[in-house]
């Protein structure tokens, strides 16, 4: 083990991927599967949160004010979803993703360019990110339900799926307005 790795792990009380013993009535295998699934959704959610903040900071054009406020509102809602997912992972005895490099390595949500995008490009990117989350979330919710992890299923359906569907609808409506030339 090199010296840098030793320094990086100094004080670590639980390795990433390990489960702490918790008494919540779920077998270790179920908890482990749910932690992996939830960490993937957490990575996606963190990537989407960051995409919303970038859009908020860099939006421009005729609908600037409206989009500026919408992007910030959706950002805050994604932060709340992140917190709920992270708390569920901890409840299951797992360790959450927390660092940008981990998120980039786990999420398949496309990264935005560094430069400022047009409002339609921002909206398209956000709609695609929501779709990625929703395509991953639904089967993960079913798998949690099938494994008897009702808490994770409820979180995924009631918070992740519902919020992302609603936000995606709002983004879709703005895309439709942009296409109409509003």
Specify if 139 maps to a domain.
yes
Report residues of the chain scoring pLDDT below 50: 1-3
Residue 100's pLDDT is what?
85
pTM above 0.85, yes or no: yes
Residue 7's pLDDT is what?
58
Q: Residue 93 maps to which CATH number?
A: 1.20.1260.10
| Token reading at 112 | 């935005």
Residue 2's pLDDT is what?
47
Residue 1's pLDDT is what?
45
Residue 182's pLDDT is what?
55
> Using CA of residue 168, residue 144, residue 86, residue 151, what is the dihedral sign?
positive
Nearest Cα residue to 134 out of 182, 86, 169, 100: 169
Instruction: Please tell me the total count of domains within the chain.
Output: 1
DSSP of 24-71, one letter per residue? SS--HHHHHHHHHHHHHHHHHHHHHHHHHHHHHHH--STTHHHHHHHH
Specify if 5 maps to a domain.
no
């Amino acid at each position: 083990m090199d010296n840098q790795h030793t320094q990086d792990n100094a004080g670590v009380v639980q390795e990433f991927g390990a489960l702490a013993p918790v008494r919540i009535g779920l077998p270790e295998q179920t908890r482990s599967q749910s932690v992996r699934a939830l960490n993937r959704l957490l990575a996606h959610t963190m990537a989407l949160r960051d995409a919303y903040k970038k859009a908020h900071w860099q939006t421009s054009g005729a609908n600037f004010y409206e989009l500026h406020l919408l992007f910030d509102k959706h950002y805050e809602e994604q932060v709340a979803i992140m917190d709920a997912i992270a708390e569920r992972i901890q409840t299951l005895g797992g360790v959450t993703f927390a660092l940008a490099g981990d998120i980039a390595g786990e999420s398949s949500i496309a990264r935005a360019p560094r430069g400022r995008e047009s409002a339609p490009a921002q909206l398209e990117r956000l709609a695609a990110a929501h779709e990625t989350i929703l395509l991953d979330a639904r089967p993960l919710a079913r798998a949690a339900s099938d494994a008897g992890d009702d808490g994770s299923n409820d979180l995924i359906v009631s918070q992740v799926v519902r919020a992302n569907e609603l936000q995606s609808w709002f983004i879709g409506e703005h895309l439709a307005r942009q296409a109409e030339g509003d």
